[in-house]
Structure 1
């Protein structure tokens, strides 16, 4: 399973990369605004900085919702770095844009997927990734994990689709582990979700005992 970090914060991206677990980055306009990155050129410059940190797979989202605008923006984003994956919304013109980019060898991430049918359409158009939003489905009392399972079941029947399931809106470590169990190809989440996987009370207890034992041994060695 690949781990992507869902943020535009350079420090968080660098921390995740330094942990040795990071396979990519996802961003969106809200995350850019959270970092006070506004203006077309500033946004592009920020994407370039992200690409300098990570090895590959930086999802950069278009702002347009019409075909011409999405193609123009997507090609400009892709020109920043070969690491860029153009993020396209799940709309009819979005499918057309995905098909265009696929024909040009430009990778795409179809975002705002809330049904297996939408995922199938995006895959047929040539999307590299589809991003089902499991947390947002949970918010309206629908089973986000069931959607991951449905999409995987369909994709497994047709490997020629060659589209990966990128679980998005991952809110906590249990979301992440469930995505891994049902076979999502990728999960994207904030740094805190990854860090939560580090924690277990028995690990903390064992480490404290180890440190105390090591301290005692050092004191005895000094007295010998």
Structure 2
């Protein structure tokens, strides 16, 4: 399973890449604005750091505008994947862009049927927002399971990005289902390292090592 960071923070991205576990990034104008950065410049900077898929979102909701924006974004880097909202004009834009060889990520997916439409249109990725589904009382991960089943049934190459992740349990569930990608805030990635038994084990190991070093010093004195 690939791990993407859902952020526009360069320091977070650099740290994740340095760990050797971050494969790509998803971002949008809202995340970039929080960093007080220029959108296109930040997208190029992220692409240079991650050297993997970087989803950058259009702001237009009309077919012509989405296609125009997507073509400009795609010129920023070979790593750019254009995020397109799953609306009728968006599906049409995905179809056009896929024929032009531009990678797309159908975003704001909340049902398996929406994902099916995106795959038929040629989307490179679909992003079901599971956290937002959980927020309204549904089980978001069920949608991921159904999308995966549909794509396997019909041999679609479209990859599933589990998005709107709230906590490490979402990541675990996605991995057990076999989702292609999970995109998450940096804080969720950090939590994946954590386990109290790891901390206790490391603490005990260091104490034992310190005692052993004291033993060696005393032995040499004798």
- TM class by smaller structure: over 0.9
In 1, Cα distance between equivalents of 2:166 and 2:197: 24
Alignment pair present for 1:53 and 2:53 = no
Structure 2, unaligned stretches of length 5 or more?
A: none
Select which of 191, 203, 209 maps to 1:208: 203
In 2, Cα distance between equivalents of 1:67 and 1:215: 66
Q: Under a length normalisation based on structure 1, what TM-score does the superposition of the two structures give?
A: 0.96
Alignment pair present for 1:129 and 2:125 = yes
Q: Which residue of 2 aligns with 1:140?
A: 136
Greater C-alpha radius of gyration: 2
RMSD of aligned Cα (Å): 0.8
In 2, Cα distance between equivalents of 1:218 and 1:53: 42
Q: Under a length normalisation based on structure 2, what TM-score does the superposition of the two structures give?
A: 0.97
Structure 1, unaligned stretches of length 5 or more?
A: none
Helix, strand or coil: the match of 1:222?
helix
Q: Which residue of 2 aligns with 1:111?
A: 107
Alignment pair present for 1:33 and 2:33 = yes
Alignment pair present for 1:176 and 2:171 = yes
Poorly superposed stretches of 4+, deviation over 4 Å: none
Shift of 1:65: 0.6
